[in-house]
A = this chain, B = another copy of it.
């Protein structure tokens, strides 16, 4: 067993034999065995025991752990926590509160002692029970894969790993080892209490399954191992898909490229949505199955008019939040303000005049300025290769001053540059160049002599644009005050 254990530490837990390990020791058979094995391999240990303050024997048990550590000349830290009060305070079940308090204590000790890892005594039997528990709770692959030999439990530490070196060793092996080495474990009576869910799995369900199909436990353990690798392969796919499809994220929102999302397989779509939800609601432990299915259904045929209520105060919607692109799919908190809708608008029905040089103020801190720039090759080059939709260069001699700035009116037409003077209904043009629907009504238009000279967000009109014969240039530009 010692050799198998050494192999596990090296191959699965990545331990450095010269550095300290914090060992969680309740005093039960599993943790005593873990302690003894690590000791035999010569590790520097910090024995950590948390008294949960739940059972009358707890003090005696803590003492026993302390005494053994003293005999062995090892550092031992014992703390007490009122778990019942913590459960009350944080509205958790007793089991959850105990778990929270325990890991908090263990990782605090690990940081204090600059340990390389926290080792806990989960066994192969625990693994099987965990998998079954996840199965009955309806977890997907991420749950069925069970626990890991090595993990970074981000809730507790982003550097110090949690390791489970006994994960491949069965309880029967541990009990034999304990006896052989004359170790005296505490026997926690609550481990027999069948009112606890896990105990019913351990003492009823697992034996029943073994009886139904001998070797079932071992096979479930193996299955978890395979599923762990399957899950890892899928997570790699999700990483790639996330990097490709997630276009923006911020306080309370994540935006996906809709077509990119639709091109993924169902499994990856589902995981991307779950990952998005996990980003926005990091504390959420169970993400509702039905919510994810609602999201996927919507994703197959999203419409602008719908907002899908997911869960935990999140929504999913298709929203035009940028000029000149397909609408993105936004996963967002109901109360979140989506970004990107920060574009220039004018009050519908209003009209302002713009001189050159000159500047006018628009709502929400936007300004539109006009100034003269030299008609030289550098300026022409800039005008022809313009990538900023909020600036343009016009031919002064082809403009009628003052320019007007107003929103759209019935009958507006536009001759986009590069279409040979062909004119379109402005409403069609706005659709074609993917001006977000909700931006259209208040979209500023620059008018010269009754005709649209520029639709901001796009190029200037054919008649007003600069050309090689242009001798005087007017430069228009929108700016937002920071």
Contact = CB atoms under 8 A, between A and B. Distances in A.
A117 B354 CA distance: 72
Contact of A229 (B135, B201, B205, B266): B266
Contact of A222 (B218, B265, B289): B289
21 contacts: A135-B135, A136-B212, A136-B213, A136-B216, A136-B219, A138-B216, A138-B219, A140-B230, A200-B212, A205-B209, A205-B212, A219-B289, A229-B265, A229-B266, A229-B267, A232-B266, A233-B234, A233-B266, A233-B267, A234-B234, A237-B237
A334 B234 CA distance: 34
A227 B140 contact: yes
A34 interface: no
Nearest to A137: B219
- The winner among A220, A265, A268, A270 for most chain B CB atoms within 10 A is A265
A229 B223 CA distance: 18
Given A136-B213, A144-B144, A268 B233 contact: yes
Contacts of A141: 141, 226-227, 230
A139 interface: yes
A318 to B, nearest CB: 23
A107 to B, nearest CB: 29
A236 interface: yes
Contacts of A197: 212-213
Contact of A232 (B222, B232, B267, B289): B267
Q: Which 10 A-B pairs have the closest CB atoms?
A: A138-B219, A233-B267, A229-B267, A136-B213, A229-B266, A233-B265, A136-B216, A230-B267, A140-B226, A141-B230
A208 interface: yes
A139 B220 CA distance: 8
Interface size of A as a range: 35 or more
Interface string A135-158: 111111100100000000000000
A138 to B, nearest CB: 3
Given A205-B208, A212-B200, A236-B265, A226 B135 contact: no
A138 B270 contact: no
Majority-rule SS of A interface residues: helix
A127 B223 CA distance: 19
A289 to B, nearest CB: 5
Contacts of A226: 140-141, 267, 270
A201 B212 CA distance: 9
B267 A137 contact: no
A233 B135 CA distance: 21
Interface in A224-267: 226-227, 229-230, 232-234, 236-237, 265-267
Contacts of A222: 138, 289
Given A205-B208, A208-B208, A229 B136 contact: no
Contacts of A201: 212
B265 A138 contact: no
B267 A223 contact: no
Contacts of A289: 219, 222
Contact of A220 (B135, B219, B230, B234): B135
Contacts of A135: 135, 216, 220, 223
A195 to B, nearest CB: 12
Nearest to A296: B229
A234 B223 contact: no
A212 B215 CA distance: 22
A316 B361 CA distance: 76
Q: Which of A135, A236, A268 has the most chain B CB atoms closer than 10 A to its own CB?
A: A135
A234 B267 CA distance: 9
Contacts of A208: 205, 208
Contacts of A234: 230, 233-234
Interface string A115-147: 000000000000000000001111111001000
Interface in A64-114: none
Q: Which of A201, A213, A220, A237 has the most CB of B within 10 A?
A: A213
Nearest to A216: B136
Given A200-B212, A212-B200, A265 B227 contact: no
A47 B222 CA distance: 43
A213 B139 CA distance: 13
Nearest to A211: B200
A160 B285 CA distance: 43
